[in-house]
Chain A
Amino acid sequence: MSMVEVKNLIKQYKHTKIRSVDDISFKVEEGEFFAFLGPNGAGKTTTISILSTILSKTSGEVIISGFDVQKEARKVREKIGIIFQKPSLDVHLTAEQNIRFHAALYGMCGYRLSFKLMPKAYRQKVLELAEIVGIADVLFKPIKKLSGGMQRKLEIVRSLIHMPDVLFLDEPTQGLDAVSRRSLWEYINQVRNQFGTTVFLTTHYIDEAENVDKVCVINHGKIAFCQSPEVMKQNFLRQELMVDSVNREQLTSELSDLGLDYTINRLVVVPCQGSVQELILKIKTPLSVLKISEPTLEDAYVEFLKKNGGIE
């Protein structure tokens, strides 16, 4: 079953002339790890807001977990969890009070006036999650006293308290340090493995999408590409050979004679059209350096956007 099904979705904000989301369609299967990428202003947050029922659409159809976001909004809300791009914490409460409030809204447990009075399962869960993302020691401090990254981590803990079927993450790791990012992804992967949670991610850290099942690129409100990351890499980038020689001039003139393109950075970089092995065999100049560089998803993504007029 598709967990998320979007058909011809269009969104035009009030008092604007252009469509922020312009007739997009895609599907996310159950348990899939889905990356929704695109430059600033592409329409990612707009799409997520519609999928999570907090923004109305102009036209089109959106089904989440079998329920229509407009007609059965409440059933959809039962199924989803979300980390908004903009922080949505109550800054007057403590970190734990924010989580407690959330747990009560999602019917996990009643709201008691202090943490100690909350059910044991809740307390354990909060402490466990706080430990994982590393905010255990600020759990009882007011939000105002938490750093930006800590607030982000708190939102992550909050979104996972009710174990949603679909988790929407709108740039979840913005502002997190490298260690926290890694432990967060470890945890999200663990949750995915254990519960088969579908994850819908937008991020500007393209490396986070390296292991996803599907990448959709949205640009100017339209889906520009929707495939696995491997296909994206193959389609838009080749492997590169990075070589150097004690006699660099001899090397470059040989490359020219062979009719091969190259660029010189620190090393001589030769884009690989076919097999790397064949290319290496052609070069006779003694090499002092030989490396093969695999394209990253980020390279492919940037290349893709350049070709499709997204960014300069």
Chain B
Amino acid sequence: MKNVLVLQRRKSKLHRELGTIFAIFAREVTLLFKSPAFIGMSIAMPMVMMGMVGGNLMENMTGGLNFEFGKFMLVGMLVNMLFVTTTQSMTTLVDDNDSNFNEEMLVSPISRYSLAIGKILGGSFGAIFSMLGTLIAGLVLKVTLPLSRWFLILSLSPLMCLSAGAVAMLVIGMIKNKKAANYAVMLITMPQMFLCGAIIPIKSTTGLLKILSRCLPMTYCLDLVRAVVYHDSAEHDSVVMFNPLVNCVAIVVVTLVCLIIGTYFYAESEKNK
């Protein structure tokens, strides 16, 4: 037998962490493309939602609004679908746990945060398809945005995915059961959609609902995206709630808090049996 070959380890820590994040991202993307049904659903879902909910609302309920509801909803749906897809994909944490693949990742010498971030970014890759679905639905309903705005939104999407994933991680990271995880997804996505103003405006909301909406990063993501979309329009003040900078800070803070707590729970719940 010839001598055993040796591979050299990389020296730089940062390089290694980034490599890890990319590897985990690439794995998720590979898995995504192996499940065309998921891709199909990601495209169909926003179309169904916009078509049914949005279509009805547009025709029946928006008389008193002083902004164009179609555009408002398109942006809301875009961000909402991004959150839904990312949350949905975080349920693979449970699959990894079932197949014991978690252990392979947890025993490796990488930061738990790299694991979480790679997982979230990879999982949210599917959100691109839901954006596509939203775009199509928008075209059908004759609601469109200039191309430059689409690119701006696209460039904000990794930040939004991270915050969506961090919230999901907080809830799903601790769940060991596929059924419970599926309910958890509903539990996160449904209230988020209504609390954060994806479809229904929340600018005048008060009380408990207001407090809840301020705790969820999606509120700020939505507002940030709307600030981008509406920044030179007359409707700006009736749609946008906060300064974009406030939104950015809020997103980063809430995301970090969720990510730190979520990752901690995810790693610890595995360990403390």
Q: Pick the contact of B20 from A56, A97, A105, A190 — CB < 8 Å?
A: A105
Pick the interface stretch among B26-34, B137-145, B174-182, B229-237: B26-34
Q: Quick one: which of B5, B23, B103, B111 contacts A84, CB cutoff 8 A?
A: B103
Mark interface residues in B95-128 (1 if CB within 8 Å of A CB, else 0): 0100111111111111100000000000000000
A103 to chain B, nearest CB (A): 7
Give CA–CA (A122, B23) in the complex, Å.
Answer: 15
Contact present for B5 and A106 (CB under 8 Å):
no
Q: Are B7 and A55 interface neighbours, CB within 8 A?
A: no
Q: Check: B245 CB closer than 8 A to any chain A CB.
A: no
Pick the residue among A89, A110, A191 that contacts B4 (CB under 8 A).
A191
Taking a contact as CB atoms under 8 Å apart, the answer to whether A89 and B101 are in contact is: yes
- A19 sits at the interface (CB 8 A): no
Set of chain A residues within 8 Å of B101, measured between Cβ atoms: 88-90
A109 within 8 A of B: yes
Contact A54 B271 (CB under 8 A): yes
A90-B27, A163-B7, A190-B4 as given contacts; A74 in contact with B109, CB under 8 Å: yes
Q: How far is the CB of B264 from chain A (nearest CB, A)?
A: 13
B231, chain A: closest CB distance, angstroms: 37
Tell yes or no: A41 within 8 A of B by CB: no
| Among B30, B104, B111, contact of A88 (Cβ-Cβ < 8 Å) | B104
- CA separation between A220 and B241, bound complex, in Å? 63
Known contacts A101-B27, A110-B22; is-contact A88 B271 (Cβ 8 Å): no
- Check B37 for interface membership: any CB of A closer than 8 A: no
Which residues of B does A touch, CB under 8 Å? 1-10, 15-16, 19-20, 22-23, 26-27, 30-31, 34, 96, 99-111, 270-273
Contacts A104-B19, A107-B16 aside, 20 further interface pairs with beta carbons under 8 A come to A54-B103, A74-B109, A74-B111, A75-B109, A84-B104, A88-B100, A90-B104, A102-B104, A102-B108, A104-B22, A105-B20, A108-B7, A109-B10, A110-B19, A110-B22, A111-B22, A125-B7, A128-B2, A194-B3, A194-B4
A interface list, Cβ under 8 A from B: 13-14, 52-56, 74-75, 77-78, 80, 82, 84, 86-93, 97, 100-111, 113, 121-122, 124-125, 128, 132, 161-163, 186-187, 190-191, 194-195
